[in-house]
Amino acid sequence: MAKMYSGKRGKSGSKKPVKKVVPSWVRYKPNEIEHLILKIAKEGKTPSQIGIVLRDVYGIPDVKVITKKNISQILEEKKLLPKIPEDMMALIRRSIMIRKHLEENGHDNSAVRGLILTDSKIGRLSKYYKRMKKIDADWKFEPEKVNLYVD
């Protein structure tokens, strides 16, 4: 998600190639890539970390081009996808870190604002995931019990 209250245009960075063609140097077949994904997932890696490992170690630039499914879909088929999505978990961790910081530095007004923005982003994201049925309809972000979500 882009920042809502900053007036900036978001993040710049590298983009994926427009051509959706399997590169000639990739020697893995789709079922071999799925087995690699499952092996890496059982080590406790998140879907984005799995993609980075496949890119850096195995030389697989884009899983979706080769397997016709993305990493999350493969993990969901094998029931290895976590209950709370990865981006929501990152926001929850950020909220925890800001709350710990505010316990020691209560007068840090910029951190208070960051906490408000982070919590509102969690709320917007949870509405989306409830609509898409990725999380339970009765799931609620409760800051008092937030430490239970984090591993």
At 41-57, the pLDDT tens digits run 999 999 999 999 999 99
Over the stretch 103-147, which tens digit does the pLDDT of each residue have? 999 999 999 999 999 999 999 999 999 999 999 999 999 888 777
Q: How confident is the model at residue 3 (pLDDT cuts 50, 70, 90)?
A: low
Over the stretch 66-112, which tens digit does the pLDDT of each residue have? 999 999 999 999 999 988 999 999 999 999 999 999 999 999 999 99
Paired tokens of 114: 């960051």
Domain coordinates of the chain in residue numbers? Answer: 30-77, 86-148
149, 91 contact by CB (below 8 A):
no
Q: How far is CA 5 from CA 8, 10, 31, 116, in A?
A: 8, 11, 44, 11
Give this prediction's pTM.
0.81
Q: How confident is the model at residue 16 (pLDDT cuts 50, 70, 90)?
A: confident
CATH 3.40.50.720 holds for 86-148:
no
Query: Residue 149: pLDDT above 90?
Result: no
Q: How far is CA 27 from CA 33, 39, 67, 144, in A?
A: 10, 18, 13, 49
